[in-house]
C-alpha cells in the first residue's frame, strides 16, 4: 500500500463499534510494534466500559489515554469519555475539554487531524461503522498528509453513514471488510 | 508543505501575542492551540493565521475576540459530581479544623467551578470563614464569573450534578430566574476575590488550603505544567489540598514527589513535605 514506514494507527468508530473492534483489535499480536489510538463515541457518563472488555479480549496492552502520556508501541489507547484525544508533534498524547466536534467528544476528527499533523505519511487512519459523519474531515486530513486511509465497506458495516461520509471526503481511501482490515493492520507489525 | 507554513504562522502569532500583549500561549499544548487558532481564523473570516496576526497586532479590539477562542471553556457546575462528593466527605473534614480558609480556583473561566465550591462550603457551614480567589487570564471570563449568569437551559444539568455530588440543599435556593437566565446570588461572591492571574508568568500570591484547577493544565505542555504545579505546591499551606481534572495527573510531573495521593480516583492530592 505504501513504502513509508508506518508509525501509528488511528481508528474511529461509532454505532456498532464494539462488534467491529472485536473483529480487529484481538487479532493484533503481542509485541505489535505500533501504538493504536482508538476513538469510540460513548455517552459522557458511560466511562470505561470498553476498557475491561477489550483488556480481556486483546493480546496487546489496552489502556485509557492520559494527558501528556508518551505513546508506546504495542499499546492500544482509548480516548476517555467526554474528552478529546490528540497527538502532539513529539508523539505524546494530549487530552482536551474543548466543545464537542460533530456533537461528539471524543471526536474522531480531532484525533485524526492532530495525528495526521504529527505523523504525516506514517499514519494509518481507519474509519469503521457509525451513524454520523465524524471522521470524514479527519480521514481527509490523513490522506492530505500522505497517510494511508482505510474505510470499512459501507455495504457490510453495521451503520453505513460514517464510512460513506469518509469515502466522500477521502476518495483515495481503500475500502475493506473488517477481516481484511484486521489482516492488513496485523501485517504492518510483521513486515518490518 | 502548507501544513508546515501553518505551524510557522502559529509560532509567530503566539510570539506576537506575547511580545505585544504579554499573553503567553507559547507553551500551551500545540495540537489544541492549533485547532483553536484554525477555528478562530475561519470563524473570524481570515484567509490565514498571518492575516489574523496582522489584524490583532494593529487592532486591539481583535484581542479579546481572539482570547475568547484561546481561553474560554464551557464547564458545568459540579462537573464530575464524585469530585465534589470527595471534597465534601474527605477534604472538608480536614479543612474544618482551620479557623480561616483560603480556596483558589485557578483558571476559573466563567465561574461554574467557583459557584460550585461556594455552594459546597456554604452547605457545610464553612463559607463564612473562607476567602475565595478566582483567577483567570481572560478579563471577559472574569467578568462573566463575577456576573454569575448562566442560560437557564444549562441549569437542569447543574442541578442534576449538584444532587449527585451529595448536595444538601436545592440549587434553586441560590439563583433567581429572569429572562431565560439564572442569576446566582450575590451572597455567593461576597467573599470572592476575582483577579487576573497567569499560571504562565505570575507568582505565588497567598497561602492556600485548597486549590482547584481542573482541566486547565491539560492545555499546557509538560514544561508549563511543571511550572504551574510547582507554583501550586509553593502556594499551598502545609498539608494543603490540590484538586485536578479527572484525567489529569501528577504522575508525569517533576513535582510528583511534592504531593501525596489523597483521593487518587478523584485526582485530589495533598502537599507533602520532602
Name residue A78's beta-bridge partners.
Answer: A38, A64
Nearest to B32 among A80, A98, A145 (CB): A98
Residue A138 has pLDDT above 90, yes or no: yes
Q: Is B246 helix (H, G, I), strand (E, B) or coil?
A: coil
- Give the domain B81-271 fold: Rossmann fold (3.40.50)
Cα Rg, chain A, nearest whole Å: 14
The two beta strands, B181-184 and B175-178, are antiparallel
Residue owning grid cell 502545609: B238
Q: Is B29 helix (H, G, I), strand (E, B) or coil?
A: coil
Give the DSSP letter string of chain A: --SSPP-EEEEEE-TTHHHHHHHHGGGSPTT--S-EEEEE---TTSTTSHHHHHHHH-SSEEEE--TTPBP-TTEEEEPPTTSEEEE-TTSBEEEE-PPPBTTBSS-HHHHHHHHHHHHGGGEEEEE---SS-TTHHHHHHHHHTT-EEEEE-TTTSSS-HHHHHHHHH-TTPEEE-HHHHHHHHHHHHH--
pLDDT, position A189: 82
Task: Give the minimum alpha-carbon distance from B258 to chain A in angstroms, rounded to a whole number.
Answer: 19
Q: Are A150 and A179 in contact (CB under 8 A)?
A: no
The number of CA neighbours under 13 Å toward the Cβ of B120 is: 32
Contacts across the A-B interface (CB distance below 8 Å): 61
Segment A81-102 mean pLDDT? 93
CB < 8 Å to A96, chain B: 29, 32, 35, 218-219
pLDDT, position A44: 72
Q: What is the pLDDT of residues A20-70, one digit of tens each?
A: 999 999 999 999 999 999 999 987 766 668 999 999 999 999 999 999 999
Domain residue spans in chain A?
Answer: 8-190
pLDDT, position A2: 45
Q: Are B74 and A99 in contact (CB under 8 A)?
A: yes
Domain residue spans in chain B?
Answer: 2-71, 81-271
Tallying the residues shown for chain A, one arrives at 192
pLDDT, position A142: 98
Residue A145 has pLDDT above 90, yes or no: yes
Residues 6 or more apart whose Cβ sits within 8 Å of residue A172: A143, A149
Quote the CA–CA distance of B96 and B85 in Å, as a whole number: 16
Catalytic choice (A109, A134, A160, A164): A134
Nearest to B3 among A80, A98, A117 (CB): A117
pLDDT tens for chain B, 274 residues: list them.
Answer: 446 899 999 999 999 999 999 999 999 999 999 999 999 999 999 999 999 999 999 999 999 999 999 987 778 999 999 999 999 999 999 999 999 999 999 999 999 999 999 999 999 999 999 999 999 999 999 999 999 999 999 999 999 999 999 999 999 999 999 999 999 999 999 999 999 999 999 999 999 999 999 999 999 999 999 999 999 999 999 999 999 999 998 988 899 999 999 999 999 999 998 7
CATH node for A8-190: 3.40.50.180
pLDDT, position A47: 60
Residue A174 has pLDDT above 90, yes or no: yes
DSSP helix, strand, coil percent of chain B (3-state; round to 5): 50, 20, 30
Whether A41 sits among the annotated catalytic residues: the reply is yes
Amino acid at each position: 500500500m505504501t513504502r513509508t514506514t508506518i508509525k501509528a494507527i488511528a481508528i474511529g468508530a461509532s454505532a456498532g463499534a464494539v462488534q467491529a473492534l472485536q473483529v480487529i483489535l484481538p487479532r493484533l499480536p503481542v509485541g505489535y510494534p505500533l501504538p493504536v489510538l482508538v476513538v469510540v463515541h460513548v455517552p459522557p457518563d458511560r466511562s470505561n466500559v470498553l476498557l475491561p472488555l477489550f483488556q480481556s479480549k486483546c493480546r496487546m496492552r489496552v489502556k485509557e489515554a492520559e494527558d501528556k502520556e508518551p505513546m508506546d508501541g504495542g499499546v492500544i489507547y482509548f480516548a476517555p469519555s467526554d474528552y478529546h484525544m490528540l497527538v502532539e508533534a513529539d508523539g505524546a498524547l494530549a487530552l482536551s475539554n474543548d466543545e464537542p466536534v460533530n456533537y461528539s467528544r471524543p471526536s474522531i476528527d480531532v484525533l485524526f487531524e492532530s495525528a495526521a499533523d504529527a505523523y504525516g505519511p506514517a499514519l494509518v487512519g481507519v474509519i469503521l461503522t457509525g451513524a454520523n459523519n465524524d471522521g470524514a474531515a479527519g480521514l481527509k486530513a490523513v490522506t492530505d498528509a500522505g497517510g494511508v486511509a482505510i474505510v470499512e465497506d459501507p455495504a457490510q458495516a453495521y451503520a453505513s453513514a460514517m464510512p460513506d461520509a469518509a469515502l466522500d471526503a477521502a476518495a483515495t481511501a481503500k475500502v475493506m471488510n473488517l477481516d481484511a482490515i484486521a489482516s492488513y493492520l496485523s501485517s504492518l507489525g510483521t513486515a518490518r | 508543505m502548507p501544513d508546515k507554513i501553518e505551524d510557522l504562522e502559529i509560532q509567530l502569532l503566539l510570539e506576537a501575542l506575547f511580545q505585544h500583549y504579554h499573553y503567553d500561549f507559547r507553551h500551551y499544548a500545540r495540537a489544541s492551540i492549533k485547532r483553536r487558532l484554525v477555528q478562530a481564523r475561519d470563524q473570524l473570516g481570515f484567509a490565514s493565521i498571518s492575516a489574523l496576526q496582522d489584524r490583532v497586532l494593529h487592532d486591539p479590539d481583535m484581542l479579546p475576540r481572539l482570547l475568547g477562542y484561546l481561553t474560554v471553556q464551557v464547564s458545568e457546575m459540579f462537573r464530575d459530581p464524585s469530585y465534589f462528593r470527595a471534597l465534601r466527605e474527605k477534604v472538608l473534614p480536614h479543612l474544618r479544623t482551620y479557623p480561616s480558609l483560603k480556596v483558589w480556583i485557578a483558571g476559573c473561566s466563567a465561574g461554574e467551578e467557583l459557584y460550585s465550591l461556594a455552594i459546597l462550603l456554604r452547605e457545610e457551614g464553612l463559607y463564612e470563614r473562607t476567602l475565595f480567589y478566582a483567577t483567570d487570564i481572560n478579563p471577559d471570563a472574569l467578568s462573566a464569573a463575577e456576573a454569575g449568569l448562566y442560560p437557564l437551559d444549562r441549569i437542569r444539568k447543574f442541578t442534576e450534578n449538584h444532587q449527585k455530588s451529595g448536595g444538601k440543599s436545592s440549587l434553586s435556593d441560590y439563583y433567581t430566574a429572569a429572562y431565560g437566565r439564572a442569576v446566582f446570588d450575590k451572597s455567593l461572591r461576597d467573599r470572592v476575590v476575582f483577579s487576573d492571574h497567569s499560571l504562565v508568568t505570575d507568582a505565588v500570591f497567598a497561602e492556600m488550603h485548597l486549590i482547584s484547577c481542573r482541566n486547565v493544565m491539560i492545555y499546557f505542555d509538560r514544561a508549563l505544567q511543571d511550572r504551574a504545579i510547582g507554583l501550586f505546591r509553593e502556594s499551598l499551606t502545609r498539608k494543603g489540598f490540590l484538586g485536578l481534572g479527572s484525567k489529569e495527573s501528577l504522575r508525569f510531573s517533576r513535582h510528583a514527589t511534592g504531593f501525596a495521593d489523597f483521593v487518587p480516583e478523584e485526582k485530589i492530592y495533598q502537599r507533602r513535605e520532602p
